[in-house]
């Protein structure tokens, strides 16, 4: 009777269309048995801070697979609560205050467990989709990039040697194509590392910091010009550090690229200072800034700007953080909405 009444109400939820009775019931009969057992022996129930019921997480996973949303999962348990109270009243069964408290604790605990499991599964599913999107994107970009590289090589055979300007133009084109291909490979590798928790391998060596920053700015000059953003290299000329040059270049590429995107018609400045073996670097912009609610999440994987015009893949700053931490350093951000942002990272030899 209890399960029948619950199914009648459950069928009113749009998400249940097309589910047969076994799929609709799922783990609910077992859950009802657990409720009955707990009400019959309340002294044996788990403490308030423990989950007395084992079925809600499994039920939540089934509902996620069936296309339910999280509010519908919560509604299922609340409907069951309503049916239990209605049938008790219909049968003239007077539930004691203790029974009411026990029932509510069981239902509320089940909802909490189900919601936690459902939300975790949503996050895993979103991450998987984003990883697939990145993999497809990289594949789609590398195909025309290979065509560009081949075409440039064929043109170079015919045009190289005519004059120094033409030769330098083709050398620049070849270096750029190789650089893009390497960056695409690194994006895929970093994504795998982020997903598996593997650390980035650091190959340290002496790095001329001013030159490295200048190279990053040169590669992003066209992007900056398109948005009217001025780039300033304020790194001391003789400052150097002992680090993985390629990985630190990726850090600056990401930070400067982000700053350009959020600072149209503005200024992006890169600076650094050294104190012994401790090097502090920063990328400062005077753009739109970061909302206070997002400051603690900007380095999280898949965290993107809520504005779709500025949203990225949500990997850039997560990769930056991973690179800095692989060097034994730390990175922070300071910002006020409308007043720009400054990203700082500290490296020690």
Q: Could you read off the pLDDT of 43-79 as tens digits, one per residue?
A: 555 444 344 457 888 888 888 888 888 898 899 899 9
Contact 88, 26 (CB under 8 A): no
Q: How confident is the model at residue 308 (pLDDT cuts 50, 70, 90)?
A: very low
In this prediction, residue 310 carries a pLDDT of 45
Q: Give yes or no for residue 307 having a pLDDT over 60.
A: no
What is the number of H-type helices and E-type strands within the chain? 11, 7
Select the CATH number that applies to the domain covering 2-127 from these four: 1.10.490, 2.60.40, 1.10.3470, 2.30.30: 1.10.490
Query: What is the per-residue pLDDT for 43?
Result: 58
Q: How confident is the model at residue 160 (pLDDT cuts 50, 70, 90)?
A: confident
Q: CATH number of the domain at 205-348, please?
A: 3.30.565.10
Average pLDDT over residues 75-93: 87
Q: Are 339 and 289 in contact (CB under 8 A)?
A: yes
> Across all residues in the chain, what is the average pLDDT?
81
Position with higher pLDDT, 55 vs 303? 55
Task: Report the percent of the chain where pLDDT is more than 90.
Answer: 19
What is the structure's pLDDT at 120? 87
Residues 294 and 335 sit within 8 Å (Cβ to Cβ): no
* Residue 17 vs residue 252, higher pLDDT: 252
Judging by beta carbons within 10 Å of its beta carbon (0-12, 13-18, 19+), is residue 83 exposed, middle or buried?
buried
DSSP of 41-105 = -GGGSPPTTS---SSHHHHHHHHHHTT--HHHHHHHHHHHHHHHHHHHHHTT----HHHHHHHHH
Q: How do residues 169-178 score in pLDDT, each as one tens digit?
A: 787 787 777 7
Locate 255 and state its tokens.
Answer: 């930070």
Q: Residue 213: its pLDDT value, please? A: 94
- Residue 304 binned pLDDT confidence (cut-offs 50, 70, 90): low
Please say if the pLDDT value at position 23 is more than 70. yes
pLDDT number for residue 232 = 95
pLDDT for residue 47: 46
Q: Which of 111, 120, 11, 109 is nearest to 64 (CA)?
A: 120
pLDDT for residue 312 is more than 50: no
Q: What is the pTM of this model?
A: 0.51
Indicate if the pLDDT at residue 272 is higher than 90: yes
Q: Which residue has the higher pLDDT, 339 or 280?
A: 280
Instruction: Work out the pLDDT band at 191, boundaries 50, 70, 90.
Output: low
Confidence band (pLDDT; 50, 70, 90) for 277? confident
Would you state the pLDDT for residue 200? 66
pLDDT for 284 equals 94
Tokens representing residue 19 in the block: 């589910």
Domain spans, the chain: 2-127, 129-196, 205-348
Please give the average per-residue pLDDT across 152-170, as a whole number. Answer: 79
């Amino acid at each position: 009777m209890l399960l029948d009444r619950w199914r009648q109400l459950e069928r009113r939820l749009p998400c249940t269309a097309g589910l047969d009775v076994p799929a609709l019931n799922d783990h609910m009969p077992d859950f009802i048995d657990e409720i009955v057992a707990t009400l019959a022996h309340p002294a044996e129930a788990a403490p308030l801070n423990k989950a007395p019921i084992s079925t809600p997480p499994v039920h939540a996973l089934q509902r996620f697979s069936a296309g339910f949303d999280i509010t519908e999962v919560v509604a299922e348990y609340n409907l069951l609560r309503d049916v239990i109270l209605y049938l008790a009243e219909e049968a003239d069964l007077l539930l004691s205050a203790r029974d009411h408290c026990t029932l509510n604790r069981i239902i509320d605990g089940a909802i909490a467990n189900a919601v936690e499991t459902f939300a975790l599964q949503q996050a895993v599913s979103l991450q998987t989709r984003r990883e697939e999107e990145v993999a497809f994107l990289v594949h789609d970009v590398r195909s025309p990039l290979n065509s560009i590289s081949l075409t440039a090589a064929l043109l170079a055979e015919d045009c190289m040697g005519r004059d120094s300007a033409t030769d330098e133009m083709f050398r620049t084109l070849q270096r750029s194509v190789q650089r893009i291909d390497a960056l695409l490979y690194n994006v895929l590798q970093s994504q795998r590392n982020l997903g598996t928790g593997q650390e980035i391998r650091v190959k340290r060596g002496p790095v001329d910091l001013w030159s490295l920053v200048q190279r990053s700015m040169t590669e992003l000059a066209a992007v900056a010009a398109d948005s009217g953003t001025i780039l300033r290299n304020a790194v001391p000329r003789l400052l150097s550090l002992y680090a993985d040059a390629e990985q630190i270049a990726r850090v600056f590429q990401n930070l400067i690229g982000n700053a350009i995107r959020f600072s149209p018609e503005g200024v992006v400045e890169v600076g650094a200072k050294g104190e012994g073996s401790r090097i502090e670097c920063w990328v400062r912009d005077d753009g739109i800034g970061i909302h206070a609610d997002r400051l603690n999440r900007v380095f999280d994987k898949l965290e993107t700007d809520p504005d779709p015009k500025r949203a990225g893949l949500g990997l850039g700053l997560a990769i930056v953080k991973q690179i800095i931490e692989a060097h034994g350093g730390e990175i922070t951000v300071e910002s006020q909405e409308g007043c720009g942002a400054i990203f700082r990272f500290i490296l020690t030899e």
